[in-house]
Chain A
Amino acid sequence: MAPKTRAQTRLKAETKATASTAFTVPVDSWFQFLENQSAQEIALPVSLLFAILVRWCISLHGYSGMGNPPMFGDYEAQRHWMEITTHLPPSKWYSYDLKYWGLDYPPLTAFQSWACGYIASLINPAWVALGRSRGIETHASKLFMRATVLALDLAIYVPAVVLFFRLKLVSVSWAARQASIFTVLLQPCLLLIDHGHFQYNSVMLGFLMWAVYFAAREHYVAMAIAFCCALMFKQMALYYAPTIFFFLLAKCFQRRHGFVLFVKLGLAVIATFSVMLLPWIQSRSQLEQILVRVFPVARGLYEDKVANVWCAVNVAVKLRSIFETKYLLRLATAATSLAFAPSCIHLFIVVRRYAGKQPAETRANVLRLLNYSLVNSSLAFFLFSFQVHEKSILLPLAPALLLINDESWAVNWFVQVALFSMYPLLFKDGLNVPYAVLAVGWSVLRSCPVCPADRQTPRIVFVLQWLTTLAMVALHAAHAFVLPPKALPDIYIVLNVIFSCMMFVMFLVYFNYRQFTLLSRSSKEKAQLGKQKSE
């Protein structure tokens, strides 16, 4: 198809989309309003400014371990790493006083801590003074820490999201596209964890989104480098690794110059890793120390309550007291592999099939497959792998949000449940108010229970979503007003875990189903479209 005619058909499809789904989710109505007022030029600036405003407003509230000596929480951990990286040589970063928040993320996090610590020491050295700054919680130091999260979020996550949704691979209306940007930028789970609880997940997830963006632009070497950065920032990016691996492998097989790509990718990965590990590369023992710190197998199957299969099963079967850690690790690894394998193999087979230059439609489908597979792989890891934290649900959420135009109701529901699953953590951090505001905000702006106008939603889903929403509200109400029985002090958390885990398993099945049926769905739609045209 010639480029011009392709553009024309896309235009047609866009106007069609506007006409048929005039009102999908409430947040769209704001952008439709801007369109009607011919004020499109302010849509993106206003979304970005609003995203900054909400992030900063959340950061006014509590954080992990606030005013809670001697260990404090994740906030103090991040600050402590700034302290040790600015004052100690890299050889000591992974071995210095490990009992007090020893560094347990890969080198890119260490470099980020070093850079932030360096800036901190320019403004006020007391914030990162070695030893003496432990537990420092002054107003100014808190502002600085919050500002570093915001700056990195704006530098990495935000541009990736904006660029991804401005790719015109999928034919959706202007308003829906803008609404997607707005929604993904204001995804409540990430905002509450990064700007409330205090972490830098948006950097890792931002790198993943850059990887997906480069995949869409067919810059595979850049994609590999972006993914390596994600991996070197937080080892949790491994949840995506099977998908990225099989995707790139398939690309190597499908092309005429596949082998060249293979070599390039290999070199890029090796180079990225080498650069990141440069300070430690001469010493085998130091590299091993990093590995031990980054993969703390000894910490057991899971620590806190987390909505994954092992923790949920634990209610009935105490796996941790029956089996040794060694066997549990094997069990978890086997289960995880079984869970992500179908999705990755399917991705490999389908992507390999498309050789050479492809029409836009196929390229869009390949990108969708990549995103589906990223969701499936990371969700499999979340549910079945070893040492999972409740915050790791952010990993499946990120690629799922990139599918928001295809999976409107499923993604909305997924975010709702994921946010709910993090409630015990956020409650502990004193983030009740932002949690409530964002949960209600998401449900009203985005979710379907309040929006029966969404015609794509099957009736059964609509009813189910209402029921689960009611269940979540009921659990919150019980938690707020009814004291748990003495014999079961954790009853609300356990109920939360069981409920969320069941939902996540359902989402895993659903997203796998959607991945496997994507191509048949898309050809059916195409046939329908052709039929309409001929009529």
Chain B
Amino acid sequence: MLSANDLLLVGVGLGVKLLLMPAYHSTDFEVHRNWLALTHSLPMRLWYYEARSEWTLDYPPFFAWFEWALSQAARLWDARIVDVNNLGYAAPSCVTFQRLTVIGSELVLLWALWRAVRLAGGSVSARTAAVLGFLSPGLVFVDHVHFQYNGFLLGLLVLSLTLAMEGRDLLSGVVFAVLLCFKHIFMYIAPAYFVYLLRHYCVVYRPRRRLDVGASAARLLALAMAVVLVFGVVLGPFVALGQGPQLLARLFPFKRGLCHAYWAPNAWALYSLADRVLVVIARLRGTHYAASAAAAATRGLIGDSVFAVLPAVPPLATFVATLAAQLPAIALLVLRPCSPVRFVQAVVLCAYASFLFGWHVHEKAVLLILVPLGLLLVAGPTRRALRMFAVAAVSGYYSLLPLLFGVQELPIKATVLLIWVLCALVLLKSTGSGTSAWQCLSALERAYIVGHVPLFVLTEITPASLFARLPFLPLAMVSTYTALGLVYSWAGLIFEYLC
């Protein structure tokens, strides 16, 4: 279904990813190497207790099994990779191996997108959207440079969503359950799955809108059995060993702060900014504020997020805010006629809500919004959906740039992002009128998108010494500016989907 040209582009992307192998990798590289080593060298019952490295296993068991499978190949490639005492091992052979596992496992995403294109009839616009989705700069930055397996995990998500669009609800639910057992962060979108599967799969009507209780109960039972089976297979052995509490403690470490070291561009970044602004006002007016907190924040110690004027935000408040923000997504599924496309839209909104209001959100979580949003483009976007995608994608992908902070990566992030944005703005077309994303955008939106260029000059190229007195400023500018775009497109998408 993908044309020769599409395969060529994917191949070119593959070439760039291979060339990027010696680029910077974060501590996540050692995290995954350590997991390879510990799953290979230790019996399963010790996986969640092993603590020789500070990077203990904190993903659910399927991911551990995934690492275990990879470690079988790793042993043949270079046995030192899987030595659990060989902490910090990053020889070229190890780097090559781990990079290749990322590149290889990412093919799940390609396969899932290919299915989506086939479902959409294989039109040019669907194929373009799929290729742009696969060659997302976010995946290049986070997976192929920073080092993670998002391409693989999001591939499973897209696969699950595509199965839902194909009408195979039960399978979709099973794939999602599997995905949850790979990485539990996807729980954020579970409400959309729950409501959709309940309404679209479990509830069966007889003619004249009368509930078919027997059939509905059977389907509910089937779904429940399938999900329980998946969780049972994954979690059962550990629970049987009496490791349930240990597993939970590893998977949900609630000791971290509200904002990650670098602020994800979400509502809390704007909240922090408001606090800073209020501090300035308080200083001018001579009213009281918590001086120590303000000083800590000015020094850039934002790991712990203390506020000087505004009240502190407890985890419970973020939890409530997230649930409240997910209400539009649930409303979409409950109030409107239920359709697979609506479901994907609800997933996007759920991911959006948790990104904007969640506790200790990583900037990387923006991929959870942008990849399903890209999938909706394969199905064919309206003009407004395309506009909102353009704004969200530019600001969301831009917000990932601080992740790669080295000078060496500067040309890479600039060129990769620019190439993708140029292609996306010109090649993505709305259905019907066939106007390109750039043509759809309003003047303000265009100005906002172009505004990332001076932002780049200011925060990436300007020497850091200029900000010696305000070291947090460059990062704060990035998270604030990109948060504006993300919040704007969130509002726009809610309007688009609900009205």
A41 lies within 8 A of B8 (CB): no
- Is A45 touching B19 in the complex (CB atoms < 8 A)? no
Instruction: Give the Cβ gap from A249 to chain B, nearest Cβ, in Å.
Output: 44
Given A37-B427, A41-B426, A46-B419, A29:B5 Cβ within 8 A: yes
Q: Smallest Cβ distance from B12 to chain A, in angstroms?
A: 7
Residues of A within 8 A of B320 (CB): none
Of B8, B20, B128, B436, which is within 8 A of A57 by CB? B20
From A27, A49, A50, A433, give the contact of B18 (CB < 8 A). A433
Query: Closest residue of chain A to B18, judged by CB?
Result: A437
**0/1 interface trace, chain B 8-30, chain A, CB 8 Å (1 if under):** 11011001101111110000000
The yes or no answer to B442 lying at the interface (CB within 8 A) is: no
Q: Is the CB of B11 within 8 A of A54?
A: no
- Cross-chain contact of A30 among B9, B19, B124 (Cβ < 8 A): B9
User: Are A56 and B411 in contact, CB atoms less than 8 angstroms apart?
Assistant: yes
A441 to B10 CA separation, bound complex (whole angstroms): 12
Q: How many A-B residue pairs have CB under 8 A?
A: 81
Residue of A53, A57, A433 with most partner-chain B CB within 10 A: A57
Question: Which residues of the partner chain A approach B436 to less than 8 Å between Cβ atoms?
Answer: 39
State in angstroms the CA–CA spacing of A444 and B10 once bound together.
Answer: 13
Instruction: A13 to B8: give the CA distance in the assembly, Å.
Output: 28
Tell me, yes or no, whether B444 is within 8 Å of chain A by CB: no
B407 at the interface (CB under 8 A from A): yes
Q: Are B5 and A434 in contact, CB atoms less than 8 angstroms apart?
A: no
Report if A494 contacts B (CB, 8 A). Answer: no
A52 contacts the other chain (CB 8 A): yes
B5 and A52 within 8 A (CB): no
Q: Which of A39, A49, A143 contacts B427 (CB 8 A)?
A: A39
B325 close to chain A: CB less than 8 A? no
A54–B18 alpha-carbon span in the complex (Å):
11
Q: Tell me the count of chain B residues lying within 8 A, CB to CB, of chain A.
A: 31
Q: How far is the CA of A57 from the CA of B415 in the complex (A)?
A: 11
The answer to the question of A335 belonging to the interface, with a C-beta cut-off of 8 Å to chain B, is no
- What distance in Å separates the Cβ of B160 from its nearest Cβ neighbour in chain A? 31
Inter-chain contact B419/A437, CB cutoff 8 Å: no
A444 to B, closest residue via Cβ: B11
A159 at the A/B interface (Cβ < 8 Å)? no
A434 near B422 with CB under 8 A, answer no
Task: Assess whether B422 is in contact with A46, with CB atoms less than 8 Å apart.
Answer: yes
Q: Is the CB of B426 within 8 A of A39?
A: yes
Point out the residue from A39, A437, A445 that lies within 8 Å of B19, measured CB to CB. Answer: A437
Contact of B412 with A57 in the complex, beta carbons under 8 Å: yes
Q: Which residue of B lies closest to A47 (CB)?
A: B419
> Assuming the A-B contacts A60-B408, A143-B407, are A50 and B19 also in contact, with contact meaning beta carbons closer than 8 angstroms in the complex?
no
In whole Å, how far is B303's beta carbon from the nearest beta carbon of chain A?
Answer: 26
Pair A42/B19 contact, Cβ less than 8 Å: no
Q: A29-B5, A30-B8 are in contact. Are A56 and B415 (CB under 8 A)?
A: yes
Cβ–Cβ < 8 Å partners of A53 in chain B? 16, 411-412, 415-416, 419
- Of the listed residues A27, A29, A53, A58, the one surrounded by the most CB atoms of chain B closer than 10 A to its CB is A53
Cβ-closest chain B residue relative to A445: B8
B290 contacts chain A at the CB level, 8 A cutoff = no
Q: How far is the CB of A81 from the nearest CB of chain B, in Å?
A: 24
Given A46-B419, A46-B422, A53-B411: A30 touches B5 (CB 8 Å cut-off): yes
Task: Give the residues in chain B near A50, CB-CB below 8 Å.
Answer: 415, 419
| Contact of B477 with A by CB under 8 A | no
With A26-B4, A441-B12 as known contacts, state yes or no: A42 contacts B412, CB within 8 Å. no
**B418 at interface by CB-CB < 8 Å:** yes
Closest beta carbon of chain A to B131's beta carbon, Å: 11
CB distance from B86 to the nearest CB of A (A): 22
Contacts of B4 in A (CB 8 A): 26, 29
Known: A30-B5, A437-B19. A56 touches B412 (CB 8 A): yes
Interface residues of B in 387-444 (CB under 8 A from A): 407-408, 411-412, 415-416, 418-419, 422-423, 426-427, 429, 436
Q: Mark A53-72, 1 if CB is under 8 A from B, else 0.
A: 11011101100000000000
Q: B419 contacts which of A49, A60, A139 (Cβ < 8 Å)?
A: A49
Is the CB of A33 closer than 8 A to any CB of chain B?
Answer: yes
Within 8 A of B (CB), among A135-157: 139-140, 143, 150
Within 8 A of B (CB), among A251-294: none
Residues of B with C-beta under 8 A to A45: 418, 422
List, in ascending order, chain B residues with CB within 8 A of A441's CB: 11-12, 15
In the complex, which residues of chain A have a beta carbon less than 8 angstroms from the beta carbon of B419? Answer: 46, 49-50, 53
- CB contacts (< 8 Å) of B15 on chain A: these are 437-438, 440-441
Residues of the A chain whose Cβ atoms lie less than 8 Å from the Cβ of B429? 37
User: A60 to chain B: which residues have CB within 8 Å?
Assistant: 19-20, 22-23, 408
Which residue, of B9, B407, B411, B429, has the highest number of chain A Cβ atoms within 10 A? B411
User: How long is the Cα–Cα vector from A53 to B23 in the complex, in angstroms?
Assistant: 13
Report A-chain residues with C-beta under 8 Å of the C-beta of B8.
Answer: 26-27, 29-30, 444-445
Q: Which residues of A contact B20 (CB under 8 A)?
A: 57, 60
Known: A27-B8, A53-B16, A437-B15; 19 extra A-B contacts, CB below 8 A, are A30-B9, A37-B426, A37-B429, A39-B427, A41-B426, A42-B426, A46-B423, A49-B419, A50-B419, A52-B415, A53-B412, A53-B416, A60-B22, A139-B408, A150-B411, A438-B15, A441-B11, A441-B12, A444-B8
Pick 14 A–B contacts, CB within 8 A, sort by A.
Answer: A26-B8, A27-B8, A37-B427, A39-B436, A49-B418, A49-B422, A53-B419, A56-B411, A57-B23, A58-B19, A60-B20, A440-B15, A441-B11, A441-B12
Point out residues on A near B: beta carbons under 8 Å. Answer: 26-27, 29-30, 33, 37, 39, 41-42, 45-46, 49-50, 52-54, 56-58, 60-61, 139-140, 143, 150, 433-434, 437-438, 440-441, 444-445
- Chain B residues proximal to chain A, CB less than 8 Å: 4-5, 8-9, 11-12, 15-16, 18-23, 96, 124, 128, 407-408, 411-412, 415-416, 418-419, 422-423, 426-427, 429, 436
